[in-house]
Chain A
Amino acid sequence: MLGGLLAAAALLYFAAAVLMLTHLVGAATSQAARRAATAGLAGAVVAHLAHDALRWAGTGRGPFAGIHEGLSTLALLVAGVALGLRLRGGRLETLGVFVAPVTLTMLLAAQGADARPSTPLSGALLGVHVGSTILGTAAFTVAFALAAAYLVQEREVRQKRLRGMFQRLPPLEVLDVASYRSIALGLPALTLGIATGLLAGVQEAVGRGVPIASWRHYLALGVWAVFASVLVLRAVAGWRGHRAAIGTIVGYASAVAVLFGYFVRGAGR
């Protein structure tokens, strides 16, 4: 049952991504492709939600219990935002194109993640640590999608291609401001996640006599520093548009690198 739901969710995410891409880059606006993409995304979210709920009921491990659950929850959260935007309509709905492949990758990666508890944290503190990190990463995923859309739309405007994608993607300034707001939302959440992670480091250091910060902490601080720089440079040096989008993508790439590190090196220190 769980395997069937997971396969259905993965297939529907993939189909939705392809359909949304067809709709975005197609020469003519195909309303059928648009509706099918929304239906596919909705189906994927429902299957994904059902899978996670059944697993919770079966194992007793909640959405923030560990990397396995957290990553799946992150994917669900991001897909939910994309679905919400599509159902609301308007040009922001095209963001699903950039979000769906990321969601699919996260969902599949979650299956390979170590299901054991990753930190010495437990109870409410573990929930806060994983939850805030997931929320921050979800916000950064949305910011990444907006930044990627900005670069595509900017290229269309600069190359004077005013049909097709130009007409379906959101205005540049809307993308820029929305990306900024997503980072502004995600950064405090990530800060909380890193702080609780460092607390776990302190607990471990005290108990086992090892250094407080591990390689994961340094990488997470690196991600934090990149996104914080994007915000600071925007406020201080007028970094907007293209530069801000590049900064956001670099920040997100480093966040993905941290997540990747979990799989390569394991969840421990």
Chain B
Amino acid sequence: MTAGVVVVVGLNHRTAPVEARERLAVPPEGLEDAARAVAALEGVREAVVLATCNRVELYAMGDETGAVAAELRRHLQARGGAGVTLYEHRGEAAVRHAFRVCASLDSLVVGEPQILGQVKEAVAAARAAGVLRGGLGRVMARAFQAAKRVRSETGIAEGQVSVASVAADLARGIFGDLVGRKVLVVGAGKMALGAARTLARSGASLLIANRSFERAAALAREHGATAHPLTDLGMLLQHVDVAVCSTGASGYLLTRHDVATAMKARRGRGLFLIDIAVPRNVEPAAGDLDSVFLYNVDDLERAVAEGGQGRAVAAAEAERVIAEELSAFRVEEQAQRSAGPTIVALRRRFQEAAAAELERSLGGRLRHLPEGDRAALEAMLDALTNKLLHAPTTALKEAAGSADGDEVLRAARSLFALDAGPAEMTRVRAQGELTPQAKAGNGR
């Protein structure tokens, strides 16, 4: 198997509006299937699907980068991305993109902490789907490491203006004092609860409505709120001042008509709707109603980004860390590639020797063994081979990246006769040079 090249195709807050992104949204429970579908595309060996409210990106590893990129594009376009501008990165540019995304340098709100958790969820889903292995897996592991370094070594996360604080500023700009105001959280999203908690700290009271009333009740207990079933939404809207929506509903939870009906009952009192769900929960036209102020995730994050322009220095520092990590990854990959054939040959050598000895024993002294015992013996030999090879494999990978890497690799090939042809190997095996214990065992 060749090393393969990473390709990423996607869209984000810069290239596509929320209307386009919501068409391609993937709920968290759908990430495994989405990754499987991408891995099934022609030429794709590994895949990860990252879907957040700000981006939908397909990461894939394959051999023919051009063909893989075209497949990924077709895949996104067929799933609602027709007419949407898609970006594409290949090879090292794709790796760099993954690093920057994880480190929150590609986020609308640079330095926001949620993205790393979202990538980790995407990677876990791909792993669970069995479509993430050593190649793309190494890229993602290194991206997490880079993100960790960026957070700990730069001030990118300091003085973070959050979506929650912007939402609270807005509420104060609309209502003034928030004491005694009512804030409704629809759904159970972390960001929505965070925004609502910030408003509650200013004196507002909280109401939580969720499709699962039990979940709403549990959250209400935790946050000192009152719980309501989602079916009461229309009634609740008549009484609250702020509603923060973040459900996973695929259609509009609140249409313009719903909000207009509530506004009639409110006798014109102002209503601040915060829709941080993707796909959106509130029909955009509701924001045109008199005394209704509707903000979606893009609006809020843009406001947050404007408030965080002072972090440019930290962002530049973070880019330097990313460049260092990328360079280290490049060296590792090179080492991986140069050590790769030796490791593969060594593993094959051990496995062939073990298989040959097993076959000889099972055909001779151990002929009487039942099928179950034979399988157990085979598994035991596999485990033993893996255990014996673990230390030399690690040592070879490490040595390959060092100055005397070539010498170590040559020594390994010579010690284990990895460059020997089939005829020579038959002679070696016959002499039992590689398996003295097996030979002794058979001869007893």
Chain A positions within 8 Å of B, measured between CB atoms, are: 153, 157-158, 160, 162-163, 166-167, 170-174, 234, 237-243
Contacts and interface: CB of A to CB of B under 8 A. Distances in A.
Contacts of A238: 264, 266-269
If over half of B's interface residues share one DSSP class (helix, strand or loop), that class is named, otherwise mixed; here it is: helix
A241 B289 CA distance: 11
Given A171-B174, A172-B174, A240 B306 contact: no
A8 B293 CA distance: 44
A173 B171 CA distance: 10
Interface of B: 166, 169-170, 172-176, 264, 266-270, 287, 290-291, 293, 295, 299, 302-303, 306-307
Nearest to B300: A160
A173 B176 contact: yes
A117 B268 CA distance: 45
A160 B268 contact: no
Contacts of B176: 170-171, 173-174
B170 A157 contact: yes
A162 B169 contact: yes
B187 to A, nearest CB: 23
User: By CB atoms of chain A within 10 A, which of B173, B264, B299, B307 has the most?
Assistant: B173
Nearest to A163: B306
B291 A162 contact: no
Interchain residue pairs A-B with the least CB separation, the first 10 = A238-B267, A238-B268, A171-B176, A240-B268, A241-B291, A174-B176, A162-B303, A160-B299, A173-B175, A172-B174
Nearest to B175: A173
A158 B270 CA distance: 13
Contact of A243 (B169, B264, B290): B290
A158 B174 CA distance: 11
Nearest to A172: B174
User: By CB atoms of chain A within 10 A, which of B169, B170, B174 has the most?
Assistant: B174
A7 B443 CA distance: 123
A129 to B, nearest CB: 36
A234 to B, nearest CB: 8
Contact of A162 (B166, B264, B268, B287): B166
Given A160-B295, A167-B173, A243-B268, 16 more contacts: A157-B173, A157-B293, A160-B302, A160-B303, A162-B169, A170-B176, A173-B175, A174-B176, A234-B268, A237-B267, A238-B264, A238-B267, A240-B269, A240-B270, A241-B268, A241-B290
User: By CB atoms of chain A within 10 A, which of B166, B176, B287, B307 has the most?
Assistant: B176
A240 B293 contact: no
B269 to A, nearest CB: 7
A101 B290 CA distance: 29
A166 B169 CA distance: 10
Contacts of B295: 160
A58 B264 CA distance: 59
A239 B169 CA distance: 25
A171 B241 CA distance: 14
13 contacts: A153-B173, A157-B173, A160-B302, A162-B170, A162-B173, A163-B306, A163-B307, A171-B173, A172-B270, A238-B266, A239-B268, A241-B270, A241-B290
Contacts of A240: 267-270, 291
B170 A171 contact: no
A160 B300 CA distance: 8
